[in-house]
Amino acid sequence: MATAFEKHPTGTAWVVEDRDSFRVARTTFTDQDVLERERAAIFDRCWLYIGHESELPNPNDFVRRAVGGRDLVFNRDRKGDYHAFFNSCPHRGAAVVREDKGSAISFKCFYHGWSFNNNGAFATRFAAGTYPEDFNKDGCANLVAVPRLAGYAGFWFVNFDANAESLEDYLAGAKDFLQVVADHGADGMEIVGGIQEYSVRANWKLLVENSFDGYHAHETHSTYLEYLVDAIGGPAELFPSRGNISRAYDLGNGHAVIEGPAPWGRPVAQWIPAWGEDGREEIAAIYAELEKRLGKERAEQVAYGNRNLLIFPNLVINDIMAITVRTFYPEQPDYMNVNSWALAPKGEARHFRKRRLDNFLEFLGPGGFATPDDVEALESCQRSYRNRAAAGWNDISRGMLRDEPLADDEAQMRAFWREWDRRVAKAG
């Protein structure tokens, strides 16, 4: 369950916190040795998102994914069980899967032809005498599975540390918010085809901060807000009992969320005038189903609240005018790769699906009315960190004096940075 933020002093070189100020050293965004420590202390040890269950609807389905600097295959075998393998032939190393996705009962390396069942077991027969009789007795010719693979509420994660805590313990208070997102659809949720794959010439932690930063919207996204006023025919009617909720929650283990009233239309289930009177009736029907299935309190939370959720370290689920699932990985201290997917209720009416996707792309992604300006801001920060010797600190203290931080405060970022500090700086 979400808990209030606690103030606790720390005193490392990179993150400095006292009673009413919180500062982060700009070297955390620029130094190669910091990135090396992050790789060891975060990306080799934390649970990392690999995909959504809807991407593998049938036995034998597979997708190829870059996760934590590795090239992985996430798939289901003939029985329907889930696997994640390192995409590398145990013979000499070539990729055994080169497509983005598909269905296959076996994988075959294109270099020398070694074959594997889709449960990873080596499946080639050699002429007698080629290899010893007991070849592969120790499994050396099987595909190498990731040490840990687990799912929660349809979201699947891997962990490269065999001794890591369980996924559920790791997710802590974030479990409830993953469930809120999973509850949108009566028949479950699905990833909608089409991945936005882009890069930002900035440190990955700048996108962590930006992804749940409610403070920057009016300044950075003025042109989007102006568009919104015109395009949606006025702001949404805020539901009275939830209209004033604006909070940030520390969910434990570095996970955090900001939650607030949505001023825009939500295909589940908040109407805007642009959708017309027919749309109003359809939204009312969607809401009625939510309330019947989930109860009044949860239905209101699903329908009328905005959520920007970070699962530490780098899974962002923005449940805003659409639902975005986004991960990003550092390639260099000043360069990251971003992947972004759209999540939607299964069985959604086609015109609502279209509205949802329109909402997503008109705000988000490289062609949207907002993301390009975020990218510009992050890259501007990164360039300015060349001044770090003289101007060396970021201020993350907004709202520290408030007992209940608001969605446009920075408590959620402090939750991230405390966990980062615990894992990276204090790991020694």
Partner 1 sequence: MATIERAGAPADRQGGTPTRSEIEDFLYLEAALLDEWKLDEWLALFAEGATYDVPTTRADDDADSADQLFLVADDYARLQHRVRRLKKPGAHSEWPRSRTAHSISNVRIVEAEGDEVLVRSVFVTYRAKNDVTDCYFGHHFHRIRVQADGLRILSKRSMLDMSSLRPHGRVSIIV
Binding site for partner 1 (CB under 8 A): 100, 192-201, 220, 222-224, 226-227, 230-231, 335, 337, 341-342, 350-351, 353-354, 357-358, 360-362, 365-367, 369, 371-373, 375-377, 379, 383
Selection from 156, 69, 85 nearest residue 337 by Cα? 69
Q: Please state the closest distance from residue 375 (CB atom) to partner 1, in A.
A: 4
SS3 330: strand
Q: Please state the closest distance from residue 327 (CB atom) to partner 1, in A.
A: 14
DSSP letter assigned to residue 266:
B
Judged by beta carbon, residue 259 or residue 374, the one nearer partner 1 is: 374
Judged by beta carbon, residue 155 or residue 341, the one nearer partner 1 is: 341
Judged by beta carbon, residue 234 or residue 367, the one nearer partner 1 is: 367
Tokens of 123: 């499946």
Q: Please state the closest distance from residue 369 (CB atom) to partner 1, in A.
A: 6
Q: Please state the closest distance from residue 343 (CB atom) to partner 1, in A.
A: 10
Cα torsion through 281, 282, 283, 287, rounded to 10: 100
Judged by beta carbon, residue 100 or residue 161, the one nearer partner 1 is: 100
- Residues 296/243, Cβ–Cβ less than 8 Å: no
DSSP letter assigned to residue 221:
T
Backbone angles phi, psi at 12, to 5 degrees: -85, 175
Judged by beta carbon, residue 107 or residue 360, the one nearer partner 1 is: 360
Judged by beta carbon, residue 99 or residue 278, the one nearer partner 1 is: 99
Judged by beta carbon, residue 17 or residue 334, the one nearer partner 1 is: 334
Instruction: Determine the Cα–Cα distance for residues 142 and 123; give it in Å rounded to an integer.
Output: 8
Sequence-distant (6+) residues with CB within 8 A of 339 are 66, 195, 196, 197, 326, 327, 328
Tokens of 258: 């900001």
Q: Where are the alpha helices (DSSP H) in 67-221?
A: 167-171, 174-182, 204-211, 217-220
Q: Please state the closest distance from residue 202 (CB atom) to partner 1, in A.
A: 9
Instruction: Determine the Cα–Cα distance for residues 128 and 326; give it in Å rounded to an integer.
Output: 50
Judged by beta carbon, residue 82 or residue 335, the one nearer partner 1 is: 335
Judged by beta carbon, residue 232 or residue 311, the one nearer partner 1 is: 232
Q: Please state the closest distance from residue 382 (CB atom) to partner 1, in A.
A: 10
Q: Please state the closest distance from residue 207 (CB atom) to partner 1, in A.
A: 11
Sequence-distant (6+) residues with CB within 8 A of 278 are none
Beta bridge mates, 116: 107, 122
DSSP strand pairing (323-332 vs 315-319): antiparallel
SS3 86: strand
Q: Please state the closest distance from residue 339 (CB atom) to partner 1, in A.
A: 9
Q: Please state the closest distance from residue 340 (CB atom) to partner 1, in A.
A: 8
Backbone angles phi, psi at 396, to 5 degrees: -125, 35
